[in-house]
Amino acid sequence: MPRPWVMVDIDGVLNPQKNQAERGFTPYRLKGEDNLLVWLHPEHGRMLNELDREGLVDLRWGTTWNEAANPTVGAAIGLERQWEVLPIDRAMAGPVAFGTNWKAVSIQAGAQGQPFAWLDDFMTESDRLWAENRVLDEGLPTLLVRIDPAVGMQAQDLQQVREWARSVTGPDPVSAASLLARTPELANDPNARDRAEWFARTVKALPGSAPNGEGRLDRVTFAHSVWDRSASAIAAEHAGDPAAVKPTDAFARQAVRRYLRGDGRAAMVWSDRAALRATTPHAGHSRPAGPHVHRLVLPADPGREHALQVQALIDSAAATRRHSTRTGRCSVD
């Protein structure tokens, strides 16, 4: 895998908005005729030069300053070399809804097919979704680092980039063969092999670990949790109608999304839900005919596992209702 690109914004990242003088930032009038006032700090240059010399990533500008970034901001903070510029073009985005990060269109187009991290002060939910889809659908490592514009880039932001870059460029954490070896009954199933290859590629694109309460959840433990308990149902879903709802697979993908959002606890909850889909009749990949497909009888003293079953039942009913719109057959008890 090539070195991941790291695109760095300027305003709100290297040029913070508050308490600049108190924190040692120096005011500059930059950008030619625009004569913009920006606040910059040589410590940012030192940290970025250190990351650059390590050779883990390919640092690039991802800013509306475009070609002006190197001779102005880069020179002011003491960068040791000029970086490549990923052009940011407002016209590429076209009309966008309020609150949408229009720069994302340029970032995605300029870095198409490349693993990358993006440091910017404005990230939206839609940005999270397309970044997650790059991992899930293309197996491309993608990291969005949202910088607090009032504070600017911090050392921990670059440490996050370092750890991510090491994990996605290092040895493969799992392989399709190693996953299938854990489920030998699926070794000759072409749908299982296809899903194992997809899952191994996806896990390779994940950060090495995610916060999980007081500790960390590593990606291998997470991958084995999802695969061991859900692979049979996922393979069976993909063996059926290509247009059919694939609930177990959808739950596994939700588990990956939560991991990517840095929530190991939620990732494991969704892994549990995928497992429930795979092992219980009301939540699995097969749906018996009849008016009471989605029925669950709880004991007098339900526990956590029953709460998960209720959630799975609700999600299963919703998925079936969407899929059964043509017939109108959906019953929830």
The model's pLDDT over 219-277, given as tens digits with 9 standing for 90+, comes to 999 999 999 999 999 999 999 877 777 889 999 999 999 999 999 999 999 999 999 98
Return d(Cα 120, Cα 128) in angstroms, integer.
13
Q: Which of 154, 169, 184 is the last residue of a domain?
A: 169
Return d(Cα 76, Cα 146) in angstroms, integer.
23
Instruction: Quote the pTM value.
Output: 0.82
Judgement on whether residues 205 and 274 belong to the same structural domain of the protein? yes
Question: E strands, the chain, where?
Answer: 5-8, 26-30, 36-40, 58-61, 84-85, 116-120, 142-146, 209-212, 215-218
Judgement on whether residues 24 and 125 belong to the same structural domain of the protein? yes
pLDDT the model gives residue 19: 93
pLDDT, tens digit (0-9, with 9 covering 90-100), for 32-57: 656 789 999 999 999 999 999 999 99
Q: 135: domain range?
A: 5-169
Judgement on whether residues 112 and 253 belong to the same structural domain of the protein? no
Asked if the model's pLDDT at residue 24 lies above 90, the reply is yes
pLDDT band at 204 (very low <50, low <70, confident <90, very high): very high
Residue 132 domain flag: yes
Give the percent of the chain with pLDDT over 90: 71
pLDDT the model gives residue 318: 57
pLDDT band at 194 (very low <50, low <70, confident <90, very high): very high
Q: How many domains does the chain have?
A: 2
Judgement on whether residues 210 and 161 belong to the same structural domain of the protein? no
Residue 238 domain flag: yes
Residue 333 domain flag: no
Q: How many CB atoms lie within 10 A of CB 252?
A: 29
Q: How many CB atoms lie within 10 A of CB 212?
A: 19
Judgement on whether residues 211 and 145 belong to the same structural domain of the protein? no
Judgement on whether residues 158 and 196 belong to the same structural domain of the protein? no
- Alpha-carbon separation of residue 310 from 74, 141, 158, 283, 331 (angstroms): 55, 34, 41, 10, 15
pLDDT the model gives residue 277: 87
pLDDT, tens digit (0-9, with 9 covering 90-100), for 128-149: 999 999 999 999 999 999 999 9
pLDDT, tens digit (0-9, with 9 covering 90-100), for 273-309: 999 988 864 433 444 434 444 555 666 666 655 666 6
Return d(Cα 212, Cα 222) in angstroms, integer.
11
pLDDT the model gives residue 5: 98
Residue 330 domain flag: no
Judgement on whether residues 162 and 13 belong to the same structural domain of the protein? yes
Return d(Cα 294, Cα 312) in angstroms, integer.
10
Judgement on whether residues 220 and 318 belong to the same structural domain of the protein? yes
Q: Which of 169, 194, 211 is the last residue of a domain?
A: 169
Residue position matching structure tokens 């920006």: 38
Q: Which of 113, 140, 169 is the last residue of a domain?
A: 169
Minimum mean pLDDT range among 4-8, 111-115, 179-183, 313-317: 313-317
Edge to edge, what strands does the sheet with 58-61 contain? 84-85, 58-61, 5-8, 116-120, 142-146
